[in-house]
Amino acid sequence: MTLNQSNNFLSFQSQIKRILPNEAEAFFQSLDTDSPTSIRFNPLKNYSNKLGSEKIPWADNGEYLAERPSFTLDPAFHAGAYYVQEASSMVLEEVLKQSADLEEDLLALDLCAAPGGKSTHIQSLLSESSLLVSNEVIKNRANILSENITKWGLPNTVITNNDPSHFDKLNVQFDVIVVDAPCSGEGLFRREPEAINEWSPEAVKLCATRQQRILADIWPALKPGGVLIYSTCTYNSLENEENLQWLYEQLDAEGISINLNDDWGFTETETNGINGFHAYPHKVKGEGFFIAAVRKMEGREKKLRKQKKPMNFASRQEIDTLKPWLRNPEKFDFIKHNDLFIALPNHWKEVIHDINSNLYIISEGINIGRLKGKKLIPNEALAFSTELNLEKASTFELNLEETLNYLRKENFDFEAMNNGWNLITYQGLGLGWANRIQQRVNNYYPTNWRIRMGS
């Protein structure tokens, strides 16, 4: 789509001509082409109906689609079988693989995480004994993040709603921090041409200042020797290379050598030994993106202290009722928050307790549900969880039309459904719960998630 020739665009055009003096014409021609559509499959969901037509070479589970379907009308999308994600940003996978030992049990933080593309990607890359804290400072965006991570279904995540400065309260530090910083959005101009109206050289300066504030606030939360991955969806040097320079000068960050395949088309730059990579749309099949990795060489290392306020653990009798619902119950501690029972990875018990004591939690671990006597009223999160024990749950498979009715919270055919709680599935993928009581059925798909689009 052609960008309008506003003063903003003319300023942007001048900037690109400075950055890419010999490639500016090809760059601007690429902005008049269609944006590629790409998705990333969930490796832990058993989904065989592959949609992709071409592999993304820098992401093991990433694929380009020949055309953009209606994702809203695909139940597999709602089941967390795949995530619709821009291809250039998936290069995070290669940078993370080269900068951190993913075989280790890592404590990782995705600081600016909404809507969840990078968090679900990081989840799929970390070892199953690692823990990801996924944070978003804006409340309504944090709720969207929580929905997407819930549907992805992995249990090793805590979702928080905090300002970066709050993380200094923790008694733990992170092995890896990803800062996909809020930026001026230049890399989105092809996909969202109207975004140029919000752009200006002054906005770029404001974004760069805010990015430095975010980096300064979160730096104490990174372990000495830990890795910080910095990325933006923009082209200018002020938000990219000059922020790497600032990290080097102000925080003594040291570059981590990253090598990307030349055939992928990323453009490498170097700033005081820190190499960064640009994705330009005339060279990479994707939108504009920048990424770099640095290491924290020195600093105070915190020691985890026991919290004064104890966690509210479930009783032995309650645990006996909850355990059969999970595939690997021995890996979890069961706590009670009000009347909701939650399974938390026991390997990270003290760390999660520290996070609970110092940050605002949106969600953590697996929300299993509530108990009514010795019977579980399952939470929607359990339906999506890769830890759900399918031998315990009664499943009810629906065809496409009936599944869409379920997702709209409309009537669907339940004649063959067992009485009681049923896991609604589509092509074997869990989507939510329904409770049959004789000749009626209650649809427990969350109202705020329901599809509002017609056929």
Question: What structural domains and CATH numbers belong to the chain?
Answer: 88-296 (3.40.50.150), 306-389 (3.10.450.720), 394-455 (3.10.450.720)
Query: Among this protein's residues, is 233 annotated catalytic?
Result: yes
Please enumerate in sequence order all residues whose Cβ is within 8 A of that of 375, keeping only pairs 6 or more positions apart, or say none. Answer: 321
pLDDT at 9: 85
Q: Which residues of the chain have pLDDT under 50?
A: 1-2
Q: What is the mean pLDDT of the chain?
A: 95
Type of residue found at 158: V
Residue 436 exposed, middle or buried by CB count within 10 Å (0-12, 13-18, 19+): middle
pTM for the complete prediction?
0.96
Q: Give the distance from CA 394 to its chain's centroid.
A: 30
Tracing tokens 């549907």 back to the chain, one arrives at 151
- Residue 158, SS3 per DSSP: strand
Please enumerate in sequence order all residues whose Cβ is within 8 A of that of 171, keeping only pairs 6 or more positions apart, or say none. Answer: 302, 303, 304, 305, 354, 358
Pairing assessment for the beta strands 157-160 and 131-135 based on DSSP bridges: parallel
pLDDT at 310: 83
Beta strands in 233-288 (DSSP E): 253-255, 267-271, 274-279
- Residue 181, SS3 per DSSP: coil
Residue 98 exposed, middle or buried by CB count within 10 Å (0-12, 13-18, 19+): middle
CA distance 212 to 209: 5
Q: Report how far apart, in Å, the C-alpha atoms of 38 and of each of 70, 71, 79 are.
A: 13, 12, 17
Please enumerate in sequence order all residues whose Cβ is within 8 A of that of 257, keeping only pairs 6 or more positions apart, or say none. Answer: 98, 275
pLDDT at 298: 81
pLDDT at 1: 42
pLDDT at 306: 73
Active-site residue (options: 112, 183, 207, 233) = 233
Which secondary structure element, helix H or strand E, spans residue 71, and what is its range? none
